[in-house]
Amino acid sequence: MYEYVPVTEKCGYFQSPAKIGLVRLNEREVCLIDSGNDKDAGKKVLKFLNAHGWTLKSIYNTHSNADHIGGNRYLQAQTGCKVYAPGLECCFARHPILEPTMLYGGYPPKALRHKFLLAQESDAEPLTAEVLPEEVEMIPLPGHFLDMVGFRTKEDVVYLADCLSSRETLDKYGIGFLYDVGAYLRTLETVKGMEARLFIPAHAEATESIQELAQYNIDKVNEVADRIVELCAEARGFEEILQRLFTEYGLQMSFEQYALVGSTVRSYLAWLLDEGRVEARAEDGRLLWAKV
């Protein structure tokens, strides 16, 4: 784990739970794409950089989920590097309590205030095209989270963050975390049409062709959406819909899974409501969802 995988002369990635990208800016300076899930990840990356005589100039966060910004604070404190995050992701990187708060829909209990959902605060600044080095171009990839982005390097390597899950993950869990289902599907269609020397998703194997995996992710999203609509053939409350999905997909209930999958199912329901495929109505003090 955390083995560095060179891709070209100037860029590569660290093989970790959420891949960390590295781009060499010159003979001495490098930048990172994300920073891993915690302080230990930051320590391992910094040890590698020091061994090669490289100086960390900046960290470009693709988005603010804790497993992508967890090393920010340590690396910034040790090196003085700049940290950048796009759009609303910057607010979450500066105030990480926002992530479990959003997932839970209220003040999160201790069961949700851990490093996998709550990173340490970092002094992040807004990520714009103006602060990027000439070696890196930003690619909007909204949907998985608020304002997620990816990056394409001058050597035509594309870092795709969390806009795709591996086949193995999708087959095992069925329901991947999503914030905006409509935006996510549009992002996947965009990614499906991309060409590059190499694609590096954060949670799937690097590949020279992304089309097949992008389509598999699209199919899985539509499968979940169709199943929710089927469940709404009889008017049901959110908790009943969630319980049935947990049972059908063989998921184990915990506070963390309730927050992650529950937030995702609410996002599906919101999208299906806006698409006119389901309706929401209040009956006897309950909000019920029903197929149109």
pLDDT in tens, 266-277: 999 999 999 999
Q: Which CATH number is 3-162's, of 3.90.580.10, 3.40.50.11540, 3.40.50.720, 3.60.15.10?
A: 3.60.15.10
Neighbours of 190 (CB within 10 A): 14
Which CATH code of 1.25.40, 3.90.320, 1.10.10, 2.30.30 fits the domain covering 232-291? 1.10.10
Contact, 207 vs 192, CB < 8 A? Answer: no
Q: List the structure tokens of 269.
A: 């329901």
- Given a cut of 90, whether residue 1 has pLDDT beyond it is no
Tell me which residue of 267, 237, 263, 273 sits closest to 112, measured CA to CA. 263
Distance CA 92, CA 64 (A): 6
Task: Give 2's pLDDT tier (boundaries 50, 70, 90).
Answer: confident
Q: How many residues does the chain have?
A: 292
pLDDT at residue 89, as a whole number: 98
Asked whether residue 169 carries a pLDDT value surpassing 90, the answer given is: yes
Q: Model confidence over 131-149: pLDDT tens digits?
A: 999 999 999 999 999 999 9
Q: Is residue 38 over pLDDT 90? A: yes
Q: Are 278 and 232 in contact (CB under 8 A)?
A: yes
Give Cα separations from 162 to 47, 57, 68, 69, 279 (angstroms).
Answer: 26, 24, 10, 13, 30
What is the pLDDT at residue 239?
98
Looking at the predicted structure, is the pLDDT value of residue 166 above 90? yes
Given a cut of 90, whether residue 222 has pLDDT beyond it is yes
> Which sign, positive or negative, has the C-alpha torsion 45, 4, 95, 238?
negative
Task: Give the phi and the psi of residue 38 in degrees, each rounded to 5.
Answer: -170, -175
Residue intervals in the chain for CATH 3.60.15.10: 3-162
Span 15-24, average pLDDT: 97
Rounded average pLDDT over 112-130: 96
Does the CA dihedral 73-91-61-102 come out positive or negative? Answer: positive
Q: What is the mean pLDDT of residues 247-269?
A: 97
Could you give the residue range(s) of every CATH 1.10.10 domain in the chain? 232-291
Average pLDDT in the chain: 97
SS3 category, 207: strand
Predicted structure pTM score: 0.96
Q: What are the φ and ψ backbone dihedral angles of 200, each rounded to 5 degrees? A: -125, 90
